[in-house]
Structure 1
């Protein structure tokens, strides 16, 4: 059976292949067909291998070449975003334009990049480059909203008088509230039509900003820092749950940024809540152990990083503060570290067998909860 371009596009639209995997498969097939054209005579030994097992040197070369292209794409996207910010600042200082004119410039900038993304992705079949231009287009929306703030304030004051709500202007003036909401809406609309995982990055960043700064101030007002942290913990947990649901339903990695920034909001705020007492720090350490276990269940390294940082931070607290005058505790801690290294070596050597054993022992209910059910479970 021969794979055609339409087959790969269909697989990406259905979520069966990510954009990057589709591009790698396309490049590998093109290279394989070129070699077959150049050397049609006797098949060599490597030609008898399955299509997925390219020679090691050849595979690494293609991979590194594609990685460099991806780096260039992403770096170009960041430069385009920085250029937009610089352009608006220069235009505002040189021409003394009003907020509406600046917002229109930002939206025109975004429309140009959106049109370029559409051409590259859907006409030129440059899926990653086109997707990144859509990301740049999404980032222009909060910039346009920020430019419109001075224009909106008189209208909000009139709404204050009409509704009899004197605090309405304060609500909409919260740091980044309107910009964050606009980013989430623009990102959701873009994701509806363009299946590109990195589009979740500005959405997750906006949600993190709302969780850390805008929503806590809006909900708790002057109730204090503790209430702020509680709202941030709850919002971070909600982000993690939304990322988990996304991870369960998609094959491409649309959940990475939700997990990362949800963990940042949840983990940092939880530390702030529990830092004042030994019992609180112990609970924080147990929560970090749970994160390490979730890293195995969800197959997510971000959980492992945060869980390891929290666990070792607590062990450092015990070593340098609680048991600072005891020589046996550091020795026991050193022995524990050596033992963990030894277990890590053993695990690395027998990883596949250990994962199969653990997976077979998991209750069916837990197996169904893991995103490995998408087809990544050990065979």
Structure 2
């Protein structure tokens, strides 16, 4: 009777013990990156924090949170002025303290998303508290808005103190609780800040549309630079709390400000308009390389706008342009099919084209 050949099928009951030292050794050997080793260890150890997802529970979290935030910001009524500056200050501080206490309680229970929403409510109450202090002490500059409800409606340089107070509070809260949704009011405040700074620079000479546009572009680029710095630090961090996506809102509002300022530049030459289209094409590929869809979406809108300009202005009387544009559209669809089939390889090549310092941005979270 012949001896049975040894089986090469792995034993399903066999278990291999992998500790942190083995993962770090694999990273040192070049088998995986150090960041990947840390992420694997955090996931296997059960320390990784689950990211937000489009589920019914998470939708309820954000819907309720946005309603509460809106009640304290966009939908603030004049009825609050009946409490006076001191009463409004006490109410805002009381609400903020309660929100922070509830956020810490939820955080101890591992409910990071609702904890982040409640902590964000506390940050959103900071401008109301700052306005109450200034108004109560008689330090509010004359000639501008007299009601806090105008903070989210009117552009005015007098809001700058409220915005700086909000930025400072958001940074402190982020350092303390490390909850990504708190970046949202910080990013919104940077957006407000860019408009109010432009108003301050033009309050003597009157409204200057071009300066406002340029300030938006500069603020947007600055915010995107902060987002890249934050994103890199998060991806290279070893603590699971620091590896969360703190850069999302900064990318979103930074890209909107920069792209909006760029799109409002009215170039008088065809070369300038072509350059604008090429910049938007670059944004499409940048978004694909670093996994930030906001750049891809805005770039696609910019390219579509340029093609619309060509069809209505340059080739308005051309018989062949609609056919050429149809072929281009079908070609883009075919490109999408090809891209889907080779997405991993394309992403790797695009990531390889990034500077070495930025390549961690292309790694999956």
CA distance in 2, matches of 1:85, 1:285: 37
CA distance in 2, matches of 1:107, 1:144: 7
CA distance in 1, matches of 2:261, 2:74: 33
Number of aligned residues: 306
C-alpha contact (below 8 Å) 1:205/1:261 kept by paired residues: yes
Cα distance 1:268–1:141, how it changes in 2: closer, same or farther (>3 A)? same
Per the alignment, residue 38 of structure 1 pairs with: none
Per the alignment, residue 104 of structure 1 pairs with: 90
Per the alignment, residue 338 of structure 1 pairs with: 330
C-alpha contact (below 8 Å) 1:145/1:182 kept by paired residues: yes
C-alpha contact (below 8 Å) 1:174/1:218 kept by paired residues: yes
- Equivalent residue for 1:139, pick from 115, 121, 124: 124
Moved more, 284-293 or 253-262: 284-293
C-alpha contact (below 8 Å) 1:88/1:106 kept by paired residues: no
Cα distance 1:114–1:120, how it changes in 2: closer, same or farther (>3 A)? same
- Equivalent residue for 1:232, pick from 213, 216, 219: 216
CA distance in 1, matches of 2:70, 2:120: 13
Where 1:293 maps in the other structure, the secondary structure is: helix
Cα distance 1:82–1:237, how it changes in 2: closer, same or farther (>3 A)? closer
Backbone CA RMSD of aligned residues: 3.3
C-alpha contact (below 8 Å) 1:248/1:370 kept by paired residues: no
Per the alignment, residue 76 of structure 1 pairs with: 64
- Equivalent residue for 2:184, pick from 187, 196, 201: 201
C-alpha contact (below 8 Å) 1:243/1:258 kept by paired residues: yes
Cα distance 1:268–1:152, how it changes in 2: closer, same or farther (>3 A)? farther
Where 2:364 maps in the other structure, the secondary structure is: coil
Compute the displacement of 1:225 (Å). 1.6
- Give the TM-score, by structure 1 length: 0.71
CA distance in 2, matches of 1:141, 1:192: 16
Per the alignment, residue 366 of structure 1 pairs with: 355
Matches for 1:172-251 after TM superposition, within 5 Å: 174=157, 176-211=159-194, 213-221=195-203, 222=205, 224-250=208-234, 251=243
Compute the displacement of 1:257 (Å). 0.8
Q: Say whether 1:285 aligns with 2:267.
A: no
Per the alignment, residue 33 of structure 1 pairs with: none
Compute the displacement of 1:175 (Å). 5.2
Cα distance 1:216–1:152, how it changes in 2: closer, same or farther (>3 A)? farther
CA distance in 1, matches of 2:303, 2:291: 19
Per the alignment, residue 34 of structure 1 pairs with: none
Higher relative contact order (CA 8 A, sep 6+): 2
Compute the displacement of 1:353 (Å). 3.5
Matches for 1:160-179 after TM superposition, within 5 Å: 174=157, 176-179=159-162
Question: Residues 62-103 of structure 1: CA distance to partner in whole angstroms, max 9, x if unpaired?
Answer: x98x8222111112212222344599747536xx32212212
CA distance in 2, matches of 1:147, 1:201: 23
C-alpha contact (below 8 Å) 2:231/2:361 kept by paired residues: no
Cα distance 1:330–1:220, how it changes in 2: closer, same or farther (>3 A)? same
Compute the displacement of 1:153 (Å). 4.2
Cα distance 1:282–1:147, how it changes in 2: closer, same or farther (>3 A)? farther
CA distance in 1, matches of 2:263, 2:55: 36
- Equivalent residue for 2:136, pick from 151, 157, 167: 151
Compute the displacement of 1:291 (Å). 1.1
Query: Going by fraction, where is helix more abundant, 1 or 2?
Result: 1
CA distance in 1, matches of 2:196, 2:168: 16
Question: Residues 339-358 of structure 1: CA distance to partner in whole angstroms, max 9, x if unpaired?
Answer: 11112111212222343455
